Amino acid sequence: MNINNLTDDIDINIYNIYLELDTILDTRHTTLYSMSPDIADKVIANKTYTNRVKDSFELITNKIFKLVYATRDKLHLLTASQTFIPEILTVTALKLSEEKRLKNTGNGSIDVYLNCYPYELQETEINTLQALVKTMAVDSNVVVINKPPTEITPKWVRDHVGYVIMYDGISWVNYHLSTGDFLKSNLTNTTLLTPIILGEGLPASKIDEALIDDIITKLKPLINLEYVRAKFFSMNILEPDDIKK
């Protein structure tokens, strides 16, 4: 991230991280299992789930899955497995904390904003989540919020964080472009870590390097896109040697 021309306040904020609870827990597979245990088990066994480029699974279309996923509640959290995002969070938090420490003469503490939307959690549950995330981002202050993606505006991002982890990051960009909010806030010093999931206004039938490069180039005037495959947002069941961008 380029931090040379920022104000002091934004200079501090760019070291902070935003992520969603649904990125560290694989509630998508939990939802799929609630719809069809057979399909959920099959797509794990044949790796079509972790290698997916769409949220459609055999007879369950992308549209149907999203409709059901939107109705999830905190019971889904009880059986959801951790994803690879906690590992990414640990590495990223260490890196940003060290960068901040070097620039701010010893103070390396960063803020991690954990969005637990749409789950209505009790205070004890929030405290448990804060403690959990703090083990992933050691030198951090974990702030739990509950906001729909429509309220995580580019201005909110600019005012609070410099690193964003979202599953539906492309949809988030498209939504805030459609409202005009994205064009009002400069996020060129912000990184968005997200998979590219087809079916979100992308006119392609598959993901290849040309498509990824095209999306990164088009978004560069707005935000820095860091692309990873959907497996990083899936249950952490892969071998270490298989973890590649």
The single residue listed with the structure tokens 């640990």 is 90
pLDDT value at residue 205:
53
**Residue 176 near residue 156, CB atoms below 8 Å:** no
Tell me which CATH code domain 8-25+82-238 carries: 3.40.50
Return the pLDDT at 199.
60
Q: Is the pTM of this model over 0.75?
A: yes
Residue 2's pLDDT band (boundaries 50, 70, 90)? very low
209 against 15, higher pLDDT: 15
pLDDT of residue 7: 39
pLDDT at 119 over 90: yes
Cα diameter, the chain:
56
Residue 108 is predicted with a pLDDT of 84
Question: Which band of pLDDT confidence, cut at 50, 70 and 90, is reported for residue 23?
Answer: very high
Which of 131, 185, 119, 114 has the alpha carbon at shortest distance from 153?
185
Q: What is the pLDDT of residue 189?
A: 92
Q: Specify which of 152-166, 176-190, 224-238 reaches the highest per-range mean pLDDT.
A: 152-166
Instruction: For residue 210, name the pLDDT band (cuts at 50, 70, 90).
Output: confident
For range 102-110, the mean pLDDT: 80
Please compute the mean of the pLDDT values over residues 153-164 and round it to a whole number. Answer: 96
> What are the extents of the domains in the chain?
8-25+82-238
pLDDT of residue 8: 45
